[in-house]
Amino acid sequence: MGTELLTALLTVGAYLVCGVPFGLFVARAMGHVDVRTTGSGNIGTTNVARSVGKGAAALTLLLDLGKGLVWMLVARLVLALVLYGGDFASLDHTTVFGASLSVVFLGCICGHVFSPYLHFHGGKGIAVGFGAALGLYWPIGLCALAVFLVLTIPSRYVSLGSVAAAASLPLWCAVFGFPAISIVPVAIAAVVVIWSHRENVRRLARGEERRFAFHKSERKDH
């Protein structure tokens, strides 16, 4: 099987697996709530926290992060077996291996944001993106997480940290030596995540974005 076909199959798999709307299922099971009709209407961790509670939010975060990480690890394993004959010590992110992984990473993000199970609507790609970034190259994932925390903790604007973390991903790829062919899919994924936050960005610009808190009085979203 050629590398291009294998990458395409893994990317389709990423789209289908990461499109599973765990936030919707968790909110229904734990709070008997359809998060698409409450708060911001988003199926992600933040809206689940505001609509159901921190327990449901934590489970949603774990599942969304996990689906991205697990599928990227599956992709790494399959690509390593095909391209390197299972020689994991020789994995090189500056080669076609890294380029293929980057395309699969894009598939993870698109699956979550444009879920095929929710008429191509979905979440905003942060939790799944963090998990997938760890699977792509874990230092990149940790650096993006640091950007998120540095901005989110003091401001309590999850959207601000999310957009900044997404925007930083292509830069971290460049810092860690990824070639342009590998950075492009990551940059497209970053644009998708930022686009999914477009309403949050508008509210931030108007000073109307709600600060995040687990307290019931602050769960209502604009």
Per-residue pLDDT tens digits of the chain, which is 222 residues long? 688 999 999 999 999 999 999 999 999 999 999 999 988 888 989 899 889 999 999 999 999 999 999 999 999 999 999 887 877 777 788 888 999 999 999 999 999 999 999 999 999 999 999 999 999 999 999 999 999 999 999 999 999 999 999 999 999 999 999 999 999 999 999 999 999 999 999 999 999 998 877 455 444 433
How is the chain split into domains, by residue range?
3-212
pLDDT at 43: 92
pLDDT of the residue at 86: 76
DSSP H stretches of helix in 156-211: 158-175, 180-196, 198-206
* Among 27, 56, 42, 45, CA closest to 131: 45
- DSSP structure class, residue 119: T
Q: How far apart are CA 45 and CA 19, in angstroms?
A: 15
Q: What is the DSSP string of 128-168?
A: HHHHHHHHHHHHHHHHHHHHHHHHHHHH--HHHHHHHHHHH
pLDDT at 214: 44
pLDDT of residue 90: 73
What's this model's pTM, rounded to 2 decimal places?
0.91
